[in-house]
Chains A and B, each alone.
Chain A
């Protein structure tokens, strides 16, 4: 890297990091205010808003439900997205562009439209009121992320390896599990983590599919914000971030964060 490039890139990346982190830091700061209003810098320091949410069983239950929804989302999107990603990256497909436009529907349909449509479809099927339709819905609206994460790592797979496995007498199933799948693992992990996070935080489509008995945390936060913005919401967000951060750290210890970047 040349000097100019290094400097330029560092400036741009610093700007990006500040921009990405600023709202989070503000929310963190606002959550420890001793006043009644969300503001930054906070008005004094106190943990009263954390105290206020500690005893909230409804918040805890909502969080657990969100995790369940996110797990269902990954269970649905992982196989569907992985297979599609491999297919799109490894094979010549007739009408491929059309299929891609189709597979991008989750992004080209506005979330409100997806939400209304899924509500009517699930409602007609009589399955609203459970968590699994919400998990499927969040898998559906984010599926392109899974497909693209996998296809970008599948594309770098050397096809000779697959051929070699076949010529050594491995059947298609064995080749798939011992050559193709390991090669796309980084993409699968990146995609799954992204799906999990996006599902955990989804509120707009979920809003139309939950009811008060099965409300998820992001929906609850969204609804509360619609009425009044108080520092306890900042505190909830911070706890949420803390949980997420610990999950990321655990993940780093287990598999290493580099897995997102390096295809082995």
Chain B
């Protein structure tokens, strides 16, 4: 240990303390840097147009792909559908995730806690695609739900292949992420606070609204941002549960990369999506603060 401290002292002379956080960030920034290298390639192809007689891309740069993307009403349709979907999914997911995380953190029964944790982790293991097919079986015309409705004389309902089905599938997919991000924030809220509010005459709803939620805010924002961005860029749920008519932006990108071989146009759409997503994240961070990341920092400023 002394040797280590020695090395450290040499490598990190006095006054280097200011640099500490930036040095700690270097590995993560480098790992994400790989994606930035990828983005450079994508940015490069987004400026080249495809020649459909040779299926090669132009040597010279132009903004044609962006012009095309921004002049088609279709682009706005799917951007709006993705953004709106992302907001709705985020709100529903948080509403469901909050009681889940709360109960998981507060329950006195170790068994309940473990069961809730396992129910959270298991869905990860059947993957998004198999899971979506599971929903096809449950919600299909001859699925379990419609069979049950048939018993009480209700005609089969079309539960699948529409926008609500996609939203539902996405909420189910995002819920575990949201709960896992929210739980640590709830753990940090002392239980006595609630008891105190209760003894001062606040009913449970007031306590929730004025004590618990504000303290859980960083966790809510953190998980909200995760759910929002992951939904915005999702591909599998709209593809499978949307029946082909509910495409999100990522589906349009998929079509360009894989179906029409137009990597240039697909890249332009990718850049547009990344810009949109980053803008939304930026606005959210500016409006609500830094979420989980800032928890406790303002009060406990170190160094």
Binding site for B on A (CB under 8 A): 1-2, 4-5, 8-10, 12-13, 15-17, 19-24, 26-27, 30, 38-40, 76-77, 79-81, 83-84, 86-93, 96-97, 99-114, 116-118, 120-121, 136-137, 139-141, 143-145, 147-149, 151-153, 155-156, 158-159, 162, 171-174, 186-187, 190, 194, 197-198, 200-201, 203-204, 218, 221-222, 225, 229, 233-234, 237, 240-241, 244-245, 248, 252, 257-258, 260-263
* Prevailing SS type, chain B contact patch: helix
How many Å lie between the Cα of A252 and that of B121 in the bound state? 13
Chain B: interface residue count, which band?
Answer: 35 or more
Q: Decide if B122 touches A84 in the complex (CB within 8 Å).
A: no
Contacts of A40 in B (CB 8 A): 137-138, 143-144
What are 12 A-B contacts with C-beta separation under 8 Å? A5-B208, A16-B100, A20-B123, A23-B130, A90-B21, A103-B28, A109-B277, A151-B292, A151-B293, A171-B5, A244-B121, A263-B184
B164 in contact (CB, < 8 A): no
Whether A16 and B134, one on each chain, are in contact in the complex, defined by CB atoms closer than 8 angstroms, is: no
Contact of A144 among B226, B235, B263 (CB under 8 A): B226
Please name all residues of chain A whose beta carbon is closer than 8 Å to the beta carbon of B4 when the two chains form the complex.
173
Give chain A's interface secondary structure class: helix
CB distance from A82 to the nearest CB of B (A): 9
Q: Are A101 and B235 in contact (CB under 8 A)?
A: no
Which residue of the partner chain, among A20, A140, A241, contacts B119 with CB atoms under 8 Å?
Answer: A20
Given contacts A109-B39, A110-B253, are A159 and B278 in contact (CB under 8 A)? no
Q: Any chain A CB within 8 A of the CB of B300?
A: yes
Chain B residues within 8 Å of A159, by CB: 300, 302
Please, how many angstroms separate the alpha-carbon atoms of A19 and B253 in the complex?
Answer: 30
Contacts of A258 in B (CB 8 A): 110, 113
Inter-chain CA distance A155–B27, complex, in Å, is 20
Whether the pair A155, B296 counts as a contact (CB closer than 8 A) is yes
Would B185 and A136 count as touching, CB distance under 8 A? no
Residues on the B chain within 8 Å of A229, using CB: 133
User: Which residues does chain B contribute within 8 Å of A24, judged by CB atoms?
Assistant: 122-123, 126, 131, 134
In the complex, per-residue mask of B125-162: 1 if CB is within 8 Å of any chain A CB, else 0: 11101111111011000011000000000000000000
* Closest 8 A/B residue pairs (Cβ): A117-B38, A23-B134, A2-B204, A108-B277, A84-B28, A91-B21, A155-B295, A87-B24
- Contact partner of A173 (CB less than 8 A), chosen from B1, B181, B257, is B1
